[in-house]
Amino acid sequence: MKHDQPQLIDALASEYVLGTLRGAARRRFERWQREEWHVASRVRAWEARLIPLALGLPPIAPSQELWPSIEARIRVADASRAATPQRRVARPGLRALAAVLVLCALFAGGFVAWRMTESLRLQTVATIKGAQGPLVWSIQLDSRGERLRAVALAGAAAQPGHSFELWALPPGKGAPVSLGLLPDAGQLERTLSIAQRTALSSATQVAVSLEPTGGSPTGAPTGPVLFVAALKRA
Amino acid sequence: MSNTDAANSMEDELVQLVHACAARNRQALRKIYDLMAAQMLASLIRILKRRALAEEALQDVFVSIWQRAAQFESARGSARIWLMAIARHRAIDVLRSERVDLYREADVEQMPEPAEGISDWSSAGRSAAALARCFQELTGEQRRVIELAFVNGYSHADIARVTGEPLGTIKSWIRRGLASLRACLEK
């Protein structure tokens, strides 16, 4: 690609904005315009020329549920961004928290036999479904809000090297709280920590993000948020 | 208020709202959504054909606006164009990764023919009125191929298939049509 030809740059910018510059050529051109202001300015000029074509189309109102999903994704994105620079500072705290969680898990383990005999009825509190795909989980909770079961109802397989992680989204500006990984098939049942129970009791929605295998390394969502679903209260 | 005045007043409001988003004001993003989401969805559905896919893309667009609001510079261009450009580039990105049946009818109650697809140029402001005028100066073939590419998201090869014309002819119509548009808009 000859980078010093204004006519060539202009022709590429016009086809980029028109949408006919595709594939590797489009990706190369995107990199180029990020690096070179004069290329970016050609793109802006073509956007100003052609985009009014799209502004003349008859508008189509989005579904009612679209805005709440956007709002939830923004909260997750903000929480994720806020969590990243604090990671190092918080590491000793996280270790202590991890130790507490391990102790809690051991403590909970001591009561397994007792729990086995207790038949608490689980109720579906959320159904997670993609707008297009068959991916569906049912999220169930016992009446005390202590046990959570995630059931994969349809084939759900994360790409190799990834896991699906479930998050409680508290109202207002609260950060999402992990509720653990979701199964690719079958079901997973777990006892929730006090922090998870508290988060879940005030949450109005749950979200699913795509994380590295084993879950988010930071305690906040790091991958894309794939689904957001409302929480039903019994 | 004339359509052009209304478009200018909306532009001023959008500039303020994008700046407010850069200052992390979520209400501002909601207002942008109220002003622009239906317009963006119309464009996304025509490119991606399926409403569900277009609505997913629209979510991505608003997350992207929220994350990139600080990069917007009003001195360098219109907020309305900047916002629509994010939506259109997202649609083309989705075309890369999703298998979209380009020949499927879009999930629009009445899919206008490409030549009738642009319903209301005047509401889009003075730049749209100028584009409408210049568009009429193109040949019929040039208008059709540019609309098929821009409004329907067709590639050169798709347009060649739909029109039955050779690929080289399509590329030439597009190239000449865009050059004529540019020359007319700069008069």
Q: Provide the pLDDT confidence category of residue B17 given band limits of 50, 70 and 90.
A: very high
The average pLDDT across A142-146 equals 80
Q: Say whether both B139 and B172 belong to one domain.
A: yes
Q: Is B120 strand, coil or helix?
A: coil
Residue range of the domain that includes B174: 121-187
Lowest mean per-residue pLDDT among A155-159, B66-70, B137-141, B157-161: A155-159
Q: Say whether both B7 and B39 belong to one domain.
A: yes
Q: Say whether both B133 and B174 belong to one domain.
A: yes
Q: Are A57 and B81 inside 8 Å of each other by CB?
A: no
Q: Are B128 and A56 inside 8 Å of each other by CB?
A: yes
Concatenated DSSP letters of B8-68? HHHHHHHHHHHHHHHTT-HHHHHHHHHHHHHHHHHHHHHHH--HHHHHHHHHHHHHHHHHH
Most confident of B61-65, B121-125, B131-135: B61-65
**Residue B111 lies inside a defined structural domain of this protein:** no
**Final residue in a domain of this structure, among B46, B72, B101:** B101
Judging contacts by C-beta atoms under 8 Å, the chain A residues touching residue B26 are: 71, 74
**Residue B114 lies inside a defined structural domain of this protein:** no
Looking at residue B172, its pLDDT comes to 96
Q: Say whether both B86 and B8 belong to one domain.
A: yes
Q: Is B169 strand, coil or helix?
A: helix
Q: Say whether both B47 and B9 belong to one domain.
A: yes
Of B50, B81, B123, the CB nearest to A51: B81
Instruction: Report the CATH number at residue B165.
Output: 1.10.10.10
Judging contacts by C-beta atoms under 8 Å, the chain A residues touching residue B113 are: none
**Final residue in a domain of this structure, among B101, B132, B157:** B101
Looking at residue A130, its pLDDT comes to 67
In order of A75, A122, A148, A216, the CA distances from A233 in angstroms are: 22, 12, 14, 27
For residue A74, what is the nearest residue in chain B, using CA coordinates? B63
**Residue B135 lies inside a defined structural domain of this protein:** yes
State how many domains chain B has: 2
In order of A66, A134, A159, A190, the CA distances from A184 in angstroms are: 26, 13, 10, 16
The average pLDDT across B138-151 equals 94
Of A18, A53, A132, the CB nearest to B118: A53
Q: Say whether both B92 and B127 belong to one domain.
A: no
Tokens of B134: 């210049």
Q: Say whether both B92 and B151 belong to one domain.
A: no
Lowest mean per-residue pLDDT among A42-51, A67-76, A100-109, B82-91: A100-109
**Final residue in a domain of this structure, among B44, B70, B101:** B101
Q: Provide the pLDDT confidence category of residue A119 given band limits of 50, 70 and 90.
A: very low
Q: Tell me, yes or no, if the pTM score tops 0.80.
A: no
Instruction: Report the CATH number at residue B30.
Output: 1.10.1740.10
Residue percentage of chain A with pLDDT more than 90: 19
Q: Which residue has the tokens 């590639």?
A: B155
Q: Are B39 and A19 inside 8 Å of each other by CB?
A: no
**Residue B143 lies inside a defined structural domain of this protein:** yes
Q: Which of A53, A19, A56 has its CA nearest to residue B153?
A: A19
Task: Kindly give, in sequence order, each residue whose CB lies less than 8 Å from that of residue B13, ignoring residues fewer than 6 positions away.
Answer: B31, B35
Query: A150 — phi, psi (to 5°)?
Result: -115, 120
Residue percentage of chain A with pLDDT more than 70: 75
Task: Specify the higher pLDDT residue, A214 or A166.
Answer: A166
Q: Provide the pLDDT confidence category of residue B115 given band limits of 50, 70 and 90.
A: very low
Q: Provide the pLDDT confidence category of residue B9 given band limits of 50, 70 and 90.
A: confident
Tokens of A206: 């749950």
Most B CBs within 10 Å: which of A12, A16, A20, as the mutation test of the B interface? A20
Task: Kindly give, in sequence order, each residue whose CB lies less than 8 Å from that of residue A137, ignoring residues fewer than 6 positions away.
Answer: A127, A128, A150, A151, A152, A153, A156, A182, A183, A208
For the stretch A36-52, pLDDT in tens is 888 999 999 999 999 98
Q: Are A54 and B55 inside 8 Å of each other by CB?
A: no
**Residue B116 lies inside a defined structural domain of this protein:** no
Q: How far apart are the first and last CA of chain B?
A: 27
Task: Specify the higher pLDDT residue, B163 or A152.
Answer: B163
**SS3 for chain A, per residue?**
CCCCCHHHHHHHHHHHHHCCCCHHHHHHHHHHHHHCHHHHHHHHHHHHHHCHHHHCCCCCCCCCCHHHHHHHHHHHHHHHHHHCCCHHHHHHHHHHHHHHHHHHHHHHHHCHHHHHHCCCCEEEEEEEECCCCCCEEEEEEECCCCEEEEEECCCCCCCCCEEEEEEEECCCCCCCEEEEEECCCCEEEEECCHHHHHHHHHCCEEEEEEEECCCCCCCCCCCCEEEEEECCCC
Give yes or no for a contact between A59 and B42, defined as CB atoms under 8 angstroms apart. yes
For the stretch A150-207, pLDDT in tens is 888 765 666 677 788 899 988 777 788 889 888 877 778 788 887 888 888 888 888 8
Q: Say whether both B73 and B144 belong to one domain.
A: no
Q: Say whether both B96 and B125 belong to one domain.
A: no
* Spatial separation of the C-alpha atoms in residues A22 and B158, rounded to whole Å: 12
- How close B60 comes to chain A (CA, Å)? 8
Q: Are A74 and B29 inside 8 Å of each other by CB?
A: yes
Return residues 184-203 of A near B (CB < 8 Å).
none
User: Residue B109 pLDDT > 60, yes or no?
Assistant: no
Q: Say whether both B2 and B58 belong to one domain.
A: yes
- How close B67 comes to chain A (CA, Å)? 9
**Residue B36 lies inside a defined structural domain of this protein:** yes
**Residue B113 lies inside a defined structural domain of this protein:** no
Q: Say whether both B6 and B69 belong to one domain.
A: yes
Return residues 2-61 of B near A (CB < 8 Å).
24, 26, 29-30, 33, 37-39, 41-43, 45-47, 50, 52-53, 55-56, 58-59
Kind plus residue range of the DSSP H or E element containing B7: helix B3-22
**Residue B108 lies inside a defined structural domain of this protein:** no
Looking at residue A188, its pLDDT comes to 80
Q: Say whether both B129 and B42 belong to one domain.
A: no
